[in-house]
Chain A
């Protein structure tokens, strides 16, 4: 399966390598660099690259390429999924997954990689098990370690690996027993020039933070489970129970985890919470263009639209832009031609707008495409699909946990074509 792993940073340096079988020379990465050169953008590097003797499967996260070397047939998604799991684990351990963080913690990284794969086959990828084996470095622990000379390798043995609920540690104890659930929905939409919706879908997740003593058995039920068109579960969820009763029944992992992700079908009408009025024109002959953008809320059920961020890739011919935002700040990067406007909160009484002119390169012809506008926003305390959690019950333990649920709607891939 996975033979070796190379981590390559944005400038093309291999800064970490790990081999699970015989050593593969790092010259194998030359094929990757070739492909990288051919691709114009970092994202355009093909995830699967064949070389004469090996196959390279790579993922790009946090501007680091994780390149796995494969020698024989294996489902590519298997490797890709694993690499993403590695990144998630790093992020979980170090807070961020940057080159610096990895270099600083290279020993922990090595220990982790050693536990995660055996002979190229995934061994322990569940973060709860890993944390039992290798304690995540914290500032306090590093200090204690340097003073006392103790280690961050767990003394106890990974019993979780053997249990029937491998995702949960045994002997968990908390003084405050709490369980929080965040229902986060993202709207993916494409809005066309005239403001009508071409496609809109809602993707949701329920992220949980469960800190409960012992072995609690939770059930979570929805007011309107039929909304969920397609779901995928954390392995802890009992599938049969869901099939039969549409109830989520599970023994939760300890700490943060993603309980459920779901899809609300595109057949349902999706309420689009913002609208955009735009007027972006380039005149033939003149080297000026007009830019006029106004945002407004709609169908937000009285909730405020916050953290609005507008970005747009302006045509290559644009030299600079003289714009005037009614609120927030904007930046225009003359190299990448990326315009970003940090709007903040939309005030329905006084709609935010960004108006002004763009200067085109002298002599350049009128760009034939108007830029697309990408919008990000957040709406607190609302799940746009209308999904509602009915109740959460706990069995198996005697204490009364504190329960909390939070709803949020975000823009996913929200694009307005102009």
Chain B
């Protein structure tokens, strides 16, 4: 500007003035006739001011629209600030919005004037309308004026406790803005974040996590208590929030859980051992395998899985990276399909996804191999997409598919896109080095390409051949000769240099040609590129050493040329080489070793993927995409060797819990084994556990979300209470009888929380696994014998007894539970698994449990816990599908007698699928069912069942308290088999716990029609109290009501579906007879139950 002005002064011409005017800003006040060229622009601003100051709304609006146009073009309109800011309180919504746009854009530059608008916003912050409050906060926080920081802080704090979730969401956004304006407010802002993190609204979750990531990503401790809530809310959060939350949780999980990866290798071994049924060996291995997945870890994986189906590619990618970084290796592959799906999306999406797949495919070929064809290149792809696809195809190449891939590559080499053709040649080279079978084929193919007409192709081939020859320094002198012939035609420096290098390196193999090439090079030396010159010098030196007779003069000549070259590298090199090879008095000892230095055998270059080192970055991040560490990148930490205390994630921390949780954790340890054997089953169960929650929340009623989480919380609180109760009671009396109230929970947990010492667990889980096998049978019988004993001896004796106690599960587990609680201090810490979770689990699952338990008065429990012997008879296994009819697929089922996770009104059914055919079965799932209204919770499709393998899956069926069979189809990929499950009437009942007086009072209400009774004859062996209860419990899933009357035995239960009470009374009479009375509303059930009980008691 100043120079122009100077010029202006000197010349003083009108033309120069115009020029100067153009340079100056539009607001320049010095107007004159000469400024015609830009005066329109200038005028515009002038009349804008007038328009803004007019009284007409429409004029103001028109002016604002034009101003926005100016802003959008990047022109400066800041001088209108005073005129614009006056309209901030306008009634016209559009005008107001445009003023906001302007304000946010220019407030930073006009801080003093911007303050004029603040009071308007402050007033609006108190507006009864939530949207006005929100938008006021939004604009207020977007004005980057440091003076108002205290006002903003106040507004944020207030908004954070606003009743409207929308305002709270806005306050979460405002936190980030304030933080970027004034980082000193961090501490206060963290407080607000902490508060907002507790928010249960899905609207807020995404934004507050975003604020968390921005302000205090290191304050992991704030997440603990909200972890489960976030996991559960995730499905319903808006898609952008999902991405942020998933990324944050990925980081969180890596600090809180132990690695699920090490175990995969052991898995197979162990399974084999199991089928060998050598219990000794089993135990040994089990102890070597301390891993169990933290239920919270599982919760995260389970709740993110449905998001793979999102339409938002960023969400899918976020889940994919979460699985990649957190899931056990064998589960990662579920993301493959979804990632491949993303390849159909826009070019940019493809680019990022392919980058990530490239990184993944290096480590896990198997994941993407089935989808290899999706990576075939189309001629219409952009070059960088093509190169990435090529990269992936190369990574996927193995002995089996290499021929297909090479055929595909042949097409690519001919591509018109020469950069891509060159990349293909590189890829062929990589395949050749990686897969030794095809090295020769590739080499031949590449040699053929040497006669290609395109220079880049030839050059690239030469370079690749050079590398390949180096890896295989065998008899390839033919190829070298061929290349020497081509040398005259090749002009690409890199290729020429490569040939020269090859000549030098293998000069002894081509003794006649090499000197000739050198001769040619001497002629053209000065015209060559630097890189070629260097290699010429190199070749000369090598030839001098091997064949000095012929080449001495040539070498001297070239060295002389090099000495005076323009490039200092070449001069240096020449000097060095000369000293090295030409003996003179100055060159010392080095000279002697020249030959060894220059002609040392060189290690072959390793042709590696360009994505080799990208795995240091978290997948899906910007850093990964660029392969550089970007600002603000949060390193993904390594798995901790020992998981931090999982109890921190408990939502309600009450004193007892703190002692309780860790103890539970310990009790959990052997659970790993359980899980290990019945992996699928457990997964299923867990999955479905959330299933019911999820379905309720996603069933689109907003309140269900809230209530869901509330009830969950409540349930966990309840659980804690009861458990602490149970602890009290059990410690009071050495747990001769297990607790009643928590029994069901324990039962539920029994799956996960198995006794501490492993033998018993092994038996449990083992028999769960193949319930009908010979092992299962023996164990069940032995269990029968032992089940009636009160297992005070519990662990020690258990672990000694080699006979697996199959169906004592229900009985012993709660007990051991109690035991382990008491033994906390005695346990050697080293024995524990590093990740003792489980208190978490309770809260996760307990919501459904709690509903089962509803109707039980808690007061009963707390005061005098009259504990029923939690007891189950041996579980019968029924055949669902014989392997003859099922074409090799056989299925058996039993009732595990646990509250169904999916829905409280369902009966849990455990199905064991075995493949007795000689080929693997795929996609086993449940097909059509009848009656159509039948409410069945299917197990997840079993993708693949290897021959001889069996898998146990759980499902839930709502029988509606009738013994009508549930018919459905069991489908494999090829076949469908109609099967039916007919429940015994006793399985339609859940045990109910009550005290004797309650029992009597309930019984009195169910007289008359509701009472069914019969005198029955009893087998003599059966008259002992224990035997009777055993028999009754084997027939019906009821709970024992303890009684002090010797001749009376009482059992209570509720029907699963309707929750009607079922009360069973057995009065012993003389001479092996007894009066059996059943009181229930369900009279049909009563008579059926009576018949069953009669039979059982008579027979046994």
Contact = CB atoms under 8 A, between A and B. Distances in A.
Interface stretch (B514-522, B566-574, B627-635): B627-635
B68 interface: yes
Nearest to B938: A244
Given A44-B383, A415-B380, 13 more contacts: A75-B620, A75-B621, A76-B621, A80-B314, A114-B101, A118-B170, A199-B374, A201-B373, A201-B374, A235-B239, A368-B414, A368-B452, A374-B380
A164 B380 contact: no
A151 B58 CA distance: 9
A113 B644 CA distance: 44
A162 B622 contact: no
Which of B177, B415, B452, B625 has the most chain A CB atoms inside 10 A of its CB? B625
22 contacts: A22-B108, A47-B351, A50-B626, A76-B620, A78-B243, A80-B314, A106-B69, A109-B72, A111-B101, A118-B173, A125-B240, A149-B57, A151-B93, A155-B93, A199-B373, A203-B344, A230-B337, A235-B311, A244-B937, A261-B311, A313-B416, A417-B411
A137 interface: no
A47 to B, nearest CB: 4
A155 B95 CA distance: 12
Given A17-B74, A78-B314, A72 B630 contact: yes
Interface string B291-310: 00000000000000010011
B491 interface: no
A35 to B, nearest CB: 11
B700 A60 contact: no
Interface residues of B, number: 107
Contacts of B695: 238, 240-241
Contacts of A84: 346, 348-349
A413 B622 CA distance: 29
A74 interface: yes
Interface in A12-69: 14-19, 21-23, 26, 39-41, 43-44, 46-48, 50, 55, 57-61
B341 interface: yes
Contacts of A256: none
B302 to A, nearest CB: 12
Interface in B687-705: 691, 694-695, 698-702, 705
Interface string A144-175: 00000101111101100111111000000000
B793 interface: no
B161 interface: no
A391 interface: no
Interface in A343-390: 365, 368-369, 372, 374
Which of A57, A151, A152, A374 has the most chain B CB atoms inside 10 A of its CB? A151
Contacts of B634: 73
Which range holds the interface residue count of chain A? 35 or more
B707 interface: no
B454 A73 contact: no
B363 interface: no
A232 B348 contact: no
Contact of A119 (B173, B380, B416): B173
B101 A43 contact: no
A224 to B, nearest CB: 13
Given A119-B142, A153-B94, A48 B698 contact: no
Nearest to A238: B698
B602 interface: no
B456 to A, nearest CB: 13
B512 to A, nearest CB: 32
Which 8 pairs from chain A and chain B are nearest by CB? A72-B632, A164-B702, A151-B94, A199-B373, A153-B94, A47-B348, A43-B382, A149-B58
A161 B247 CA distance: 24
A162 B240 contact: no
B313 interface: yes
Contacts, number: 258
A50 B628 contact: yes
- Give chain B's interface secondary structure class: helix
Interface string B970-1009: 0000000000000000000000000000000000000000
Contacts of A372: 378-379
B960 to A, nearest CB: 18
A46 B384 contact: yes
B416 A316 contact: yes
B622 A76 contact: yes
Contacts of A316: 416
B144 interface: yes
Given A153-B97, A415-B380, A75 B318 contact: yes
B406 interface: no
A290 interface: no
A164 B700 contact: yes
Contacts of A397: none
B73 A16 contact: yes
B834 interface: no
Contacts of A232: 309-311, 316, 338, 341
A162 B430 CA distance: 55
A190 B142 CA distance: 52
A244 B939 CA distance: 9
Interface of B: 57-58, 61, 65, 68-69, 71-74, 92-95, 97-98, 100-101, 105, 108, 129, 131, 138, 141-142, 144, 164-166, 170, 173-174, 176-177, 180, 203, 207, 210, 235, 238-240, 243, 247, 306, 309-314, 316-318, 337-338, 340-341, 344, 346-349, 351-353, 371, 373-374, 376, 378-380, 382-384, 408, 411, 414-416, 452-454, 620-623, 625-626, 628, 630-634, 691, 694-695, 698-702, 705, 937-938
B550 to A, nearest CB: 38
A106 B72 CA distance: 8
Which of A58, A119, A153 has the most chain B CB atoms inside 10 A of its CB? A119
Contacts of B352: 47-48, 76-77, 80
B72 A263 contact: no
Nearest to B936: A244
Nearest to B166: A162
A296 to B, nearest CB: 23
A256 B100 CA distance: 31
Contacts of B238: 166
Nearest to B617: A73
A368 B374 contact: no
B853 to A, nearest CB: 24
A179 interface: no
B68 A151 contact: no
Contacts of B92: 151
A270 to B, nearest CB: 11
B715 to A, nearest CB: 21
A75 B314 contact: yes
A10 interface: no
A121 B213 CA distance: 12
A81 B93 CA distance: 30
B414 A121 contact: no
A73 B630 contact: yes
B318 A239 contact: no
Contacts of A109: 72
Contacts of A315: 416
A119 B373 contact: no
A258 B311 contact: yes
Contacts of B338: 230, 232
Nearest to B382: A43
Contacts of B243: 75, 78
Interface in A169-210: 188, 190, 192, 198-199, 201, 203
B240 A41 contact: no
Contacts of A190: 376, 378
Contacts of A78: 240, 243, 314
Contacts of A75: 243, 247, 314, 317-318, 620-622
Contacts of A16: 72-73
Contact of A80 (B98, B180, B346, B700): B346
Contact of B313 (A72, A77, A149): A77
A233 B309 contact: yes
Contacts of A46: 351, 384
